[in-house]
Structure 1
Amino acid sequence: MTPATLRRLSRYNAWANQRLYAACGALDPAEFAGPRPSFFGSIMATLNHALVADMIWLGRFTDRYDHGITALDQILHDAFDPLARARAELDGVIIAHFDGPMGDLEAPFSYRTMAGGAAVTPLGLTMLHMFTHTTHHRGQVHDMLSATPTAPPVLDFVYYLRENP
């Protein structure tokens, strides 16, 4: 894992979120928040979870970001516009964090899990996990969009790379 790769992933993350949120913004509120067969139960709840998880990981990576999250399924925003604003703001914070010094990416990284347990994983790979976790949940939302009148956007990393060489 290199700092350059993590910087690129922070930008891809924002790009993919912008595209996904643009599609979700076309949904009426009932489609956005309505129940769907999925782990978190709706597009709104899944997007909230991805936001919550990124806030938790960023909070673990830096002492400067106090997230105040108490549960992985916490709903921070139950309407699209405030959720989209929070996502865009956090994506900017993530990019700024990864543009700065990241420390020894091979070093063990100690943190507390949401259940209160202690965990130690390699710093760089843990940072990579933050991005793959969000990608996983974007895929779930992408699938849920397929059952709506709104077409899911292309989110593949190679498309980002073609647009951002």
Structure 2
Amino acid sequence: MEIKMHFTKVLGYNQWANGVFIDALLENGGAEEIRFMSHILNAHRIWLERINGQQKPFDAWAVRPVHELRDYDAELNRATLEVLDRCDPEAAIAYKNSRGEDFENTVSEILQHVLNHSTHHRAQIAILLRQRGIAPPASDYIFYYRG
């Protein structure tokens, strides 16, 4: 499968999975769960800014109002699809990490990181929900394709 098509598919899944968790947080979200979901999206934004060469200081852990998260996620997904349309997935991106250290990764490596990072923190949200006796939403990749 062509890499741009692959990322288009998994970005669709990622937005869906974020959405089912955002729905759960709108109904039962505690402060810590909302903090993690905000972080997922803020980190996505930071990586997009790095790809676009517009890196600005931004708090990856800033908490956003839960009712704004779905629109924020949709905006990030649209911007990421635009990156896929105009960038070579193997193009090298030079950037500074949060400590000011210089690094270079390809667009595809960065996008894969964003996706893995999102999955990691959704799992943390699921654990936090379970600890409060709330069943987390099912967000497996295959469930997305089953519709």
Output the CA distance in 2 between the equivalents of 1:19 and 1:50.
14
Are positions 1:55 and 2:56 aligned together? Answer: no
Q: How does 1:59-98 map to 2 (within 5 A)?
A: 59-63=49-53, 68-75=56-63, 77=64, 79-98=65-84
- Alignment partners' CA distance in 1, 2:107 and 2:78: 21
Q: What TM-score does the superposition give when structure 2 sets the normalisation length? A: 0.85
Partner of 1:22: 23
Q: In structure 2, do the counterparts of structure 1 residues 22 and 147 end up closer, same or farther at CA, with 3 Å as the change threshold?
A: same
Which runs of structure 1 show a deviation greater than 6 angstroms over 4 or more consecutive aligned residues? Answer: none
Q: Tell me how far apart the structure 1 counterparts of residues 27 and 57 of structure 2 sit (CA, whole Å).
A: 28
What SS does the corresponding residue of 1:7 show, helix, strand or coil? helix
- Aligned positions, number: 146
Q: Name the residue aligned to 1:101.
A: 86
Match of 1:125 among 88, 109, 117: 109
For structure 1, which runs of at least 5 residues remain unmatched after alignment?
34-41
SS of corresponding position for 2:139: coil
CA distance in 2, matches of 1:2, 1:140: 28
Question: Would you tell me which structure has more helix in proportion to its own residues?
Answer: 2
CA distance in 2, matches of 1:62, 1:46: 24
Q: Does 1:7 align with 2:5?
A: no
Q: Please, what is the CA RMSD of the aligned residues?
A: 2.2
CA–CA distance in 2 between the matches of 1:51 and 1:67?
15
Q: TM-score, normalised by structure 1?
A: 0.77
Cα distance, 1:126–1:89 mapped onto 2, change above 3 Å: closer
- Counterpart CA distance in 1 for 2:81 and 2:129 is 27
Letter aligned with residue 59 of structure 1: E
Contact 1:108 1:123 in 2 (8 A): yes
